[in-house]
Amino acid sequence: MIRFADPRGYAEFGVTSNFSFLRGASHPEELVAQAIALGLAGIGIADRNSFAGVVRAHVFLRENKAEARGLRAVPGVRLVFCDGTPDILAYPQDRAAYGRLCRLLTSGNIRAAKGSCLLTLADLLDHSEGQQLIAMESSTFEHAKESGRSYQDFEQAAPAKSHPAALGELIEAAPGRLWLAASMTYGSAMRGTLAKRRKTGERLGLPLLATNDVLMHDPARRELQDVLTCIRHGVSLETAGKRLEPNAERHLKPPGEMARLFAEAPEALSETLRFLDGLAFSLDQLGHDYPQELREGFATPQEALEAFALEGAARRYPGGIPTQVSTALVHELALVAQLDYAPYFLTVHDIVRFARAQGILCQGRGSAANSTLCFCLGITEVDPVFHDLLFERFISADRREPPDIDVDFEHDRREEVIQYIYARYGRARAALTASVTTYRARSAIRETGKVFGLSEDVLSALTSQIWHFSAADGAEGEARRAGLDPTGPHLAKALALARELSGFPRHLSQHTGGFVITRTRLDEIVPLANAAMEERTVIEWDKDDLDALGILKIDILALGMLSCLRKGFDLLKAHYGRPETLASLPQEDPAVYAMIQKADTIGAFQIESRAQMSMLPRLKPATFYDLVIEVAIVRPGPIQGDMVHPYLRRRQGKEAPVYPSRELEAVLGKTLGVPLFQEQAMKIAIVAAGFTPSEADQLRRAMATFKKVGTIGTFFDKMVKGMVARGYDEDFATRCFKQIEGFGTYGFPESHAASFALLVYASCWMKCHYPDVFACALLNAQPMGFYAPAQIVRDAREHGTPVADVDINFSDWDSTLFAVEPADRLPVHQKHVDRAEDIMGTHAIRLGFRQAGGLIEHDIRRLVARRGAGYDSIRDLWLRAELSPAVLEKLAEADSFRSLGLDRREALWIVRGLNKSGDKDDLPLLKVLSFIEIEPEAKLPPMPLGQHVVEDYRHLSLSLKAHPVVFLRAQLSKRGVSKACSLLTFPANQRVSVAGLVLVRQRPGTAKGTVFLTLEDETGVANIIVWPKVFEALRAVVIGSKLIAVTGRLQREGEVVHIVAEKAEDWTRALSQLSVMGPDLQAIARADEIKQPLPGRREPVLTRPPELFDAMPLPGLPEHQDARRAMPKGRNFQ
């Protein structure tokens, strides 16, 4: 029986979590859980020069109420020095000491390259006040891995001290706060070492402190720990040798075992408790450190906020504020006052106000954003009357978490906002939050496989599928498909370890737009480090960590659609004199909904994907709230929860809404009894299963963050049992839980959906009435969205908008609009003809040079600025715009000299000639002589139209001249392939063939391996469904083809037509023929689908007397010039 001097037994310090990347083999949560299980008195996670993992441990402890069970978790750090000083564990005694430690790490981070930290003993001596220190046995610094190049210079600047001297300095700097670590980890001479340490301790008067220098929570993690070591060193298990730990002893051990090991030095155990008692700092002491945000003329932030809100309300409701609104406002403001959140709202308000002043379109979203308060403050444009979200639910008084507001900005102007924030709060008080990059299935398998010595070939077989693991069979399935045996012991082990590795943090990177802003110095709250981007600093914690500690953060996000809409509004104002904003658009316009119901939504925000477009005609959105549902319903959450079809049936009136109970009717009434939003799922947990609000929130986060700890099971039991106990169907309960599971990973709350729905409506309104404006704006906001420019242009033309080629005499960098005679407008395509009168746009689009590859905006701006009355020759352009021959070549390749009467080939010929006639500043006399006139005519063969189209695709990614499939139509018809537009005329179940360029391949995770293809021919698009079985057989064709012919049964669901593929044929090869096709095109294509390149200009040139050569086909173009290369590969989505 072991007796402890202190009944609390033992506390483990020196715990390395997996936030010491590629060293620790356990999550912080696992370590804390194990410490609880083993009955430790305390655990001190101390990662390498980082606090990145301590918050998780803290949160886990808090959520499991472990303090009550006698466990304390104290934050610490393992200081690893680059000057040869052995590692030192540092634990702050109080808040001030913690701040000093953060500053110490910050200084080490800032002087090093990203991802490393360079510290010397001198740094610690400067910051040692209030720290309790444990001197470890040796240094674990690794040169190459941790220092990068900068170390060499640094080393010279700070020569290492001899160790005894260093120890002496430490004793002096931290009197009574220095301990000597002693470990019994079954090394080569552990008893001898312990004896020696005792002697050293006695000599220096330092107490000995027992630690197991923990790398894992359980010895079973040894294998993973070895794999991590191998990954770190870039070696395989076979070659790792002594870089691996000799045994699995460095895990958390129960107090009894520690006491046995330290039988010869029992005082080392009680010292751990004395050490623990000295530490009074907890992470709870951070947080609520908002910027003060005083506004001139107001005594308190609350006063300012109330004034701004009232002012905004008056602006919003010029006819007087409705009582409903003012009641809500008063209520919300009271809550804000109670929780002291006024500064937070003022901060967001200020940022939004700045963006507005700069003309940057923005919109807030997130739980708190859709409040009456935010509507009045102008943070969001979603009128809160549309939904009755309760403010409390998001600003919960008992959790004291800061409200969550994300603000989306135009993607190309977000940087201005970021710089404003830096300027306003200073770099010491504002920084970007981190995001923890974790191992995903793919990267985990790749790295683990390398460690196991699997060949590159096998690795790629396991990982490089275009669509990797489907949930169904995972890596094993991929392995089997690649002809490997996943049950072979070697591979099975590798896969098992890879599974264990996935979810491990890999490194910290910068969050896309999360800002943390504080009142006091940020570097005393959390260490800062350099971000990959220059002039940016990033903290060590991610948004969950900040949430948990209650530290303010604002997401400054970039959204392409906002750029598009702003550009659209600008065009509307310039060309139609219609000044519109998000708020001013006519609401609930029936024409807009009519368009949406027809799924005429290419380019529209959110609802343009294949899945959304097939849902629209069924859902038939007719109100704004329908759009909110539409945005939320085609998501993994509702799909996994099997909520989509019940909703559809009820919506279509095929089934009456049923409510499982009266209390749930209140929750689910808006969505016909089917939970679709995250809020509803949470509310069900609260109302029907008896969760407290914070438990429900814990549940949601448990889904997202630590699936690995296995708490899910308990939540599942609790929810299902809770619901069954309240009289609910077990099946319904299970479905609700599944849906929460889906939400955890792809959460889509109603509040976000509402903000997005507004953008859906705005983009659809623009598309509906001004398709010219919308397409032009969309082209100028690329890349974004689901469709390529070719489809956007096609769609615009089908809505009557003429589109003109890029031209040196007409185009700008951006695409532009120009007025045309009504007669010059294109006819509206048959399928949209019933909407023709809704179209108010009267302009045509001139494509901009941004559409042409390889050009730089700067050059084009000069070209435009010096254009004057226009350029009359290539030479004129060359001399006046001072463009280099390389740029001129690009312009020629984009076929932009048509206004000079030159096609691509002629222009290129001339440009290449310019190139060779010397620099333009040589020999002024020769300048007047035209090089072209004196050289003999080369009589180049004319470029066939087919090749022009190919070159258009290659350089502009679209062609206005013709669709590539036109050229092959004769061949296709011979093979019985129909046009896409004719599909509507076939009866259901008919066997048909269509062919087209593959625009999109989609294999949604929720569709169990089914692949959706979208094909495009000269007449329209065809939607193909490939069932998994068929896909396996047609895999090579489906994935590898750019032009594909599919045969299958036609399926019709309302107006949506699909072809269920049975056979598929790769026609990509046929694209090569395009380069010789053209003259006979008239015969095979409808005249309006072709635009002649330059009618009648060219006299035929006889280039080769046929009798001269042996008969042989015209050689193909070199591989990289082949038409097949120019055509789009098709985009793959998951």
**Block residue for tokens 């201005």:** 416
714 by Cβ neighbours in 10 Å (0-12 / 13-18 / 19+) ranks as exposed
Q: How far is the CB of 241 from other proteins (least distance, A)?
A: 3
50: β partners: 47
**Block residue for tokens 């072709």:** 1090
Q: How far is the CB of 81 from other proteins (least distance, A)?
A: 10
Q: How far is the CB of 188 from other proteins (least distance, A)?
A: 5
Which whole-number Å values give the CA distances from 569 to 418, 525, 565, 1094, in the listed order? 24, 43, 6, 36
| Phi (first) and psi of residue 491, to 5 degrees | -70, -40
C-beta separation of 787 from 611 below 8 A: no
- Going by the DSSP 8-state scheme, the letter that residue 656 receives in this structure is -
- Going by the DSSP 8-state scheme, the letter that residue 589 receives in this structure is -
1115 by Cβ neighbours in 10 Å (0-12 / 13-18 / 19+) ranks as exposed
Would you give the distance in Å from CA 756 to the centre of its chain? 17
State both tokens at 498: 């890879």
| Phi (first) and psi of residue 58, to 5 degrees | -60, -45
- Going by the DSSP 8-state scheme, the letter that residue 385 receives in this structure is G
Residue 84 or 503 having the CB closest to other proteins? 84
Q: How far is the CB of 918 from other proteins (least distance, A)?
A: 11
Residues 6+ apart with CB under 8 A from 156: none
d(C-alpha 415, C-alpha 410), whole Å: 10
Residue 987 or 1109 having the CB closest to other proteins? 1109
Q: How far is the CB of 2 from other proteins (least distance, A)?
A: 13
Q: How far is the CB of 248 from other proteins (least distance, A)?
A: 6
Residue 48 or 411 having the CB closest to other proteins? 48
Q: How far is the CB of 819 from other proteins (least distance, A)?
A: 36
C-beta separation of 802 from 825 below 8 A: yes
- Going by the DSSP 8-state scheme, the letter that residue 482 receives in this structure is T
Residue 812 or 952 having the CB closest to other proteins? 952
d(C-alpha 945, C-alpha 1083), whole Å: 14
Residue 726 or 1129 having the CB closest to other proteins? 1129
Residue 183 or 380 having the CB closest to other proteins? 183
C-beta separation of 416 from 773 below 8 A: no
DSSP string, 244-275: S-SSS--B---HHHHHHHTTT-THHHHHHHHH
Position 995, amino acid: A
Residue 189 or 1087 having the CB closest to other proteins? 189
Residue 247 or 623 having the CB closest to other proteins? 247
- Going by the DSSP 8-state scheme, the letter that residue 311 receives in this structure is H
Report which of 361, 522, 346 is spatially closest to residue 431, judged by C-alpha positions. 522
Residue 246 or 1054 having the CB closest to other proteins? 246
Residues 6+ apart with CB under 8 A from 975: 993, 1045
Residue 795 or 906 having the CB closest to other proteins? 906
DSSP string, 551-582: --EEEEEEEHHHHHHHHHHHHHHHHH-----T
d(C-alpha 97, C-alpha 131), whole Å: 6
Q: How far is the CB of 209 from other proteins (least distance, A)?
A: 13
Residue 869 or 1114 having the CB closest to other proteins? 1114
Which whole-number Å values give the CA distances from 220 to 43, 208, 216, 232, 912, in the listed order? 20, 29, 9, 20, 69
Q: How far is the CB of 453 from other proteins (least distance, A)?
A: 9
Q: How far is the CB of 150 from other proteins (least distance, A)?
A: 22
Q: How far is the CB of 540 from other proteins (least distance, A)?
A: 27
Residue 465 or 809 having the CB closest to other proteins? 465
**Block residue for tokens 């790490």:** 105
Report which of 798, 811, 790 is spatially closest to residue 771, judged by C-alpha positions. 798
Residue 858 or 916 having the CB closest to other proteins? 916
d(C-alpha 205, C-alpha 651), whole Å: 79
Report which of 810, 641, 801 is spatially closest to residue 733, judged by C-alpha positions. 641
Residue 185 or 380 having the CB closest to other proteins? 185
Q: How far is the CB of 1066 from other proteins (least distance, A)?
A: 6
